Amino acid sequence: MKISVVIPAFNEEAVIGRCLEALLNQTSPADEILVVDNNSTDRTLEIAERYRRRGVRVVRETRQGLVPARNRGFDEATGDVLGRIDADTVVEPDWVLRLRSAFADPTVSAVTGPSWFYDAPLRRTGLAGQRLFCHQVNRMLAGHPMLWGSNMALTRDCWREVRDHACPGPDIFEDLDLAIHLHRLGRRVRYEENLRAPVSARRIAGSLRELHHYLRTWHHTYSMHGQRRAAVGARAVKALGLVLLFPSVTLMLRAYQPYEGTLSIRRLFSRASEARPIP
């Protein structure tokens, strides 16, 4: 079984090196690693190119957007299984090995797993929250398993079948869109609890306005697929999360010192008006 891993990347100079190092230090190495540079204007391409001598392939996709970059990567990949992570994902050392184990079952078309935030405190709480909101809530709303774009894989045959059904974007959750179409095609998606891949908390560390704009894509994706009840449920969960959780989470992230693993009141007030970069 040949495994390829695809990493779409746009202006990811701060994280792409760490992502690639984690992939290159697997207990069971990936057979192919592809970085798809999507018109980056920073040093993303330069950094990724340094890894060519270690077997990383770098391709460029000029059509802007996550969906075109993802599609280009999946189309270019030569593996039997096509992994997909984000540039800020840092997979655990046995991630590829667990993919091999999951896809040993021929009835499985796609696999996904949970994540936590490596640059945020309370990692067990973060893992439980991500599992709840990104997997369990979506499964309840849609009635079938979801995919988590930062930590997923599907077979090459499955991609060939779903490719022309997948929506072009840009205003969609591309992983949710894929999961919906896979379900409609009768493909089996497995949630694998031990397939874990930590990610950055930068998406939830921005402003309320930025997070609201990002999350509205959630219910929009359901709506465009005719899943009105799921869209209403996603709106309700989003509203509750923004009202009840966002203030406390934002304060905690601003006070957190990731290198020391501690909370700092001084850091909280010195950074109160700053926001982490949003991808």
CATH number for the domain harbouring residue 26: 3.90.550.10
The DSSP element (H or E) to which 211 belongs, if any, is: helix 208-224
Q: For 95-197, list the strands marked E by DSSP.
A: 110-112, 152-155, 189-191
Contact status, residue 205 vs residue 250, Cβ threshold 8 Å: yes
- Integer Cα distance of 181 and 243 in angstroms: 32
- In a domain, residue 260? The reply is no
**86 belongs to a structural domain:** yes
Strand pairing of 110-112 and 189-191? Answer: parallel
Query: What is the model's pLDDT at position 160?
Result: 97
Establish if 15 belongs to a structural domain. yes
- Look up residue 20 and give its two tokens: 């690639």
Give the C-alpha separation, 192 to 103, whole Å: 11
Using the structure block, give the residue that is written with the tokens 């006070």: 255
pLDDT (0 to 100) of residue 275: 40
User: How many folded domains does the chain comprise?
Assistant: 1
Nearest alpha-carbon partner for 182 in 195, 193, 197, 167: 167
Residue with tokens 């800020």, as numbered in its chain: 88
For residue 279, give the amino acid letter: P
Q: How far is C-alpha 207 from the chain's CA centre?
A: 20
Residue 226 lies in a domain: no
* Ranges in the chain, pLDDT < 50: 271-279
pLDDT score at 242: 85
Within a domain: 183: yes
Is residue 84 assigned to a domain?
yes
273 domain-assigned: no
Please give the residue range of the domain that contains residue 7: 3-205
Q: Give pLDDT, residue 269.
A: 54
